[in-house]
Chain A
Amino acid sequence: MNCEGQMGRRIGKLHGDGYDRIEKMPVKLILRDKEYEVKPGMTLLSALQKNNILPESVIATRDGEMILEDEILKDGDVVKLIAVISGGAGT
């Protein structure tokens, strides 16, 4: 049995107890060449804090649209974090 539910993606065959297991897809955060995974259901702010990423130093996008810190991250979300700090010689 392979089908998708709202809260998770059902994978694999029915187990002996008659229920198939529901596994939630992690949320993926991508910042430059690093990837972080968090559980769905938490806010973006919590996800950033959990991975020691300063919220002030990034902008988060999902499917190309900016999302804010109170956004609840959903099953299988891929969030691209755009670093905002640049520097070097002052002019």
Chain B
Amino acid sequence: MKCRKCGEKASVNMRQHKLALCKAHYLEWVPEQTERFIKKYNMFTREEKILVAVSGGKDSLSLWDILIRLGYHADGLYLGLGIDGGINYSHESQRLTEKFANEHTLKLHIVDIEKEYGQTIPVLSELSHRGHGKPCAVCGLAKRHEMNRIARDLGYDVLATGHNLDDEAAVLFGNTLSWSSEYLLRQGPVLSESDGLARKVKPLCRFYEREMTAYCLARGIEYIYEECPFAEGSQSIYYKELLNQLETTRPGAKLTFYLRFLEARKRGDLFIEQNMGQRHLHPCANCGQPTSAPDLCSFCRMIEKVSPAAAAVLGGGEDA
């Protein structure tokens, strides 16, 4: 297969675009497309300060790399989750994130959940009895809470995450299976800033997961290849595998699924638009972040349950 731009041997083939590119042209194409998505969805401008949530994985490190190559002001945030799983998972992912930051002379904020709240994510999960024996729900909750808190505390204009199209399509698939209208309503490349919530953007939301792996390989970015020890058998991976089966026989199916959803939402074609006004958020009585729960937000309820002293620090330290 030949590169469409130069005719040399292609390294990456994107069947959904009917486009094959050599390594050099692929490394040009990815940032060009990212820039196009940033502008199309009005994610941020060159004057704004971006905080990139970096996990040491292929997507977030690629995102950070692309934004820097495009000339954006992007700093990193690494959350230490305290996951070992017999493979030193958190330690290794932090090492790779720090290595990337040092090699490119980038600013990286590191927040350790255990130091902040007294327990690692797996222990928080056990003590709070959330997530049916797996820490993924607690991990997601803690990451969302902490990323928002830190972006706001440190004065960033926008929080960028490395979600790719496979992530988005898997979430959309799950929410469609259960017709979770409130979640469908919230899904998109940009979650606007509102009282207490930083703007969240997903500049990689139109790239396949496969393309981000190819980007890391082509750029020589070292990322954590090992899967999170708790991700095995997860629902999101199962949905991704199902969608990849569909993609194999129908190239472009994942992209169409996601893009048609965004278009329908924009046109107001989805029934969920009628429920927009019903969503009511108010500040958490402890940390002040928006919540739909009556008193404390989910995160503060969890922390208060397992570590009341840490919860008090969270409430008092919110303005720090």
> Could you tell me which A residues sit within 8 Å of B by CB distance?
54-57, 59, 61, 65-70, 82-91
4 closest A-B pairs (Cβ-Cβ)?
A89-B140, A87-B237, A87-B236, A88-B231
Separation of A83 and B223 alpha carbons in the complex (Å): 13
Given A68-B11, A88-B231, A91-B144, A57 and B244 touching (CB < 8 A)? yes
Give every chain A residue within 8 A of B213 (Cβ-Cβ).
59, 82, 84
Given A66-B23, A68-B1, A68-B13, A89 and B139 touching (CB < 8 A)? yes
B116-143 CB contact bits vs A (8 Å, 1 = yes)? 0000000000000000000011011001
Residue in chain A with minimal CB distance to B214: A59
Separation of A53 and B244 alpha carbons in the complex (Å): 11
Q: Is the interface of B mostly helix, strand, loop or mixed?
A: helix
Q: Taking the nearest CB of chain A, how far is it from the CB of B135, in angstroms?
A: 8
B75 within 8 A of A: no
Whether A87 and B240, one on each chain, are in contact in the complex, defined by CB atoms closer than 8 angstroms, is yes
Whether A85 and B139, one on each chain, are in contact in the complex, defined by CB atoms closer than 8 angstroms, is no
Whether A66 and B248, one on each chain, are in contact in the complex, defined by CB atoms closer than 8 angstroms, is no
Whether B171 and A85, one on each chain, are in contact in the complex, defined by CB atoms closer than 8 angstroms, is no
Interface size on B, residues (CB 8 A): 45
Separation of A38 and B167 alpha carbons in the complex (Å): 32
> Could you tell me which B residues sit within 8 Å of A by CB distance?
1, 10-13, 20, 23, 53, 57-59, 136-137, 139-140, 143-144, 147, 161, 163, 166-167, 170-171, 209-210, 212-214, 217-218, 225, 227-228, 230-231, 234, 236-237, 240-241, 244-245, 247-248
Whether B217 and A61, one on each chain, are in contact in the complex, defined by CB atoms closer than 8 angstroms, is yes
Give every chain B residue within 8 A of A70 (Cβ-Cβ).
1
Residue in chain A with minimal CB distance to B237: A87
Give every chain B residue within 8 A of A82 (Cβ-Cβ).
213, 217, 225
Whether A68 and B10, one on each chain, are in contact in the complex, defined by CB atoms closer than 8 angstroms, is yes
Residue in chain B with minimal CB distance to A82: B213
Query: Of B20, B137, B231, B245, which is within 8 A of A87 by CB?
Result: B231
Of the candidates A57, A68, A86, the one having the most CB atoms from chain B within 10 angstroms of its own CB is A86
Q: Give 8 A-B contacts (CB < 8 Å), ordered by A residue.
A: A54-B245, A54-B248, A56-B210, A65-B11, A85-B209, A85-B244, A89-B137, A91-B147
Residue in chain B with minimal CB distance to A61: B217
Give every chain B residue within 8 A of A87 (Cβ-Cβ).
167, 170, 227, 231, 234, 236-237, 240
Given A66-B11, A68-B10, A68-B13, A90 and B140 touching (CB < 8 A)? yes
